[in-house]
Amino acid sequence: MEKPLIYISRKIPSQLLEPYQTQYQFRMWDEEEVPVPRETLLDEVKKADGLVSMLSDKIDEQLLLAAPQLKVVANLAVGYDNIDVSAAKHRGVVVTNTPDVLTETTADLGFALLMATARRIIEANNYIKKNQWENWGPFLLAGSDIHHKTIGIVGMGRIGEAVARRAKGFGMSILYHNRTRKKDAEKMLDAQYAGFDELLQKADFVVSVVPLTDETRKIFNKNAFEKMKDSAIFINISRGATVDESALVEALKTKQIRAAGLDVFEEEPIDGTHPLMELDNVVCLPHIGSSSVETRTNMIELCLDNVDRVIQRKEPVTPI
């Protein structure tokens, strides 16, 4: 009897497949940084029982129709806005993601991005690289303090709470906005619930950790930036489409807000010609929130475990 086939849409370390080699056949796209072409993906899933997908892969009705044997899609991310979950459910395909394992790593990155933006770390490094450091001045590359400021976290899920824990260590006052109040988080972190507008008006740092939904799409728009302090710093580690980028560019150019640190963008990847890259008061990263060796390994292992369990007719660890 032929072993079930699992297709992996990006190159991963082959040793991670070793525990499953006796049970499954594996096929894999042979590039780590280049997404699998749509035509190739549609062809590869024709006989696949399981699919390990990336956020860059569109898992829609067309793909599901092309994959009559498909039983499970394991998305290598917490987010899953690349997947038509309703269509998958209709066809009996289980969809899973990778929550929890990347929480602390993403929060590390988010707070590092906040600190780099506030203290102008990238500018300062480039200042030396460009041989511009000739003298010292009392306000040379002066940034913003982080300690004892007010952080406003929009989206108090696992990652939001992890960011709040880090903020607490800096003696920051913590405001948060969420669809539902988190009484446990309020007690544990001394966090205070605030309406969205109130948070925008009071926070020195506004951090977006919301999932992308119809309600959150472009929630950070011209109106939102106008409500922020002119000294405010905006950090986005959620989804690029939660931000109206043209409004953000305008807010940064006109000093409506002081600065921004971004790990995600409306359309990815971006390059050096993107309008945000032309601004000195922006730090841009290539969507590396969960990118540590340990965490990415754990995410892949969780995906493979989910695929294995579904094919073995067991409950997956992290179903959507």
- Can you spell out the DSSP letters for 11-67? ---GGGGGGGTTT-EEEE-S-SSSPPPHHHHHHHGGG-SEEEE-TTS-B-HHHHHH-
Q: How confident is the model at residue 57 (pLDDT cuts 50, 70, 90)?
A: very high
Q: Which residue among the candidates 166, 258, 287, 309 is catalytic per the annotation?
A: 287
Name residues whose C-beta falls within 8 Å of residue 20's C-beta, 6 or more positions apart in sequence: 6, 26, 304, 308
> Could you confirm whether 148 is annotated as catalytic?
no
226 is catalytic: no
Distance CA 168, CA 162 (A): 10
Instruction: Tell me which residue has tokens 């989910």.
Output: 306
pLDDT reading at 1 higher than 80: no
Q: State how far the Cα of 153 lies from the Cα of 52, in Å rounded to an integer.
A: 31
Domain ranges for the chain: 5-100+293-311, 103-284
Q: What is the mean pLDDT of the chain?
A: 97
Tell me the per-residue pLDDT of 191-241, one tens digit each, with 9 for 90 and over: 999 999 999 999 999 999 999 999 999 999 999 999 999 999 999 999 999
Q: Which residues of 134-159 are buried (b: 16+ CB within 10 A; e: fewer)?
A: eeeeeeeeebbebeebbbbbbbbbbb
The answer to whether 271 and 114 are in contact (CB under 8 A) is no
What is the mean pLDDT of the segment spanning 31-47?
Answer: 97
Same fold, 5-100+293-311 and 103-284: yes
Which tokens belong to 145? 């303090």
The DSSP code sequence of 212-225 is: P-TTTTT-BSHHHH
- Of the candidates 31, 61, 226, 268, the residue annotated as catalytic is 268
Task: Spell out the long-range contacts of 133-139 with Cβ–Cβ below 8 A and sequence spacing 24 or more.
Answer: none
| pLDDT per residue as tens digits for the range 130-159 | 999 999 999 999 999 999 999 999 999 999
Q: Which CATH class is domain 103-284?
A: alpha beta
262-270 average pLDDT score: 95
Record the tokens describing residue 117, joined without a space. 């933006």
φ, ψ for residue 191 (rounded to 5)? -90, 150
Give the closest residue to 77 by CA, choosing from 311, 275, 268: 268
158 part of the active site: no
- For residues 12-33, one letter each, b for 16 or more C-beta atoms within 10 angstroms of the residue's C-beta and e for the rest, the string is beeeebeebeeebebebbeeee
**Annotated catalytic residue within 10, 239, 258, 309:** 239
Residues 69-121 have pLDDT tens digits of: 999 999 999 989 999 999 999 999 999 999 999 999 999 999 999 999 999 99
- CATH fold label, 5-100+293-311: Rossmann fold (3.40.50)
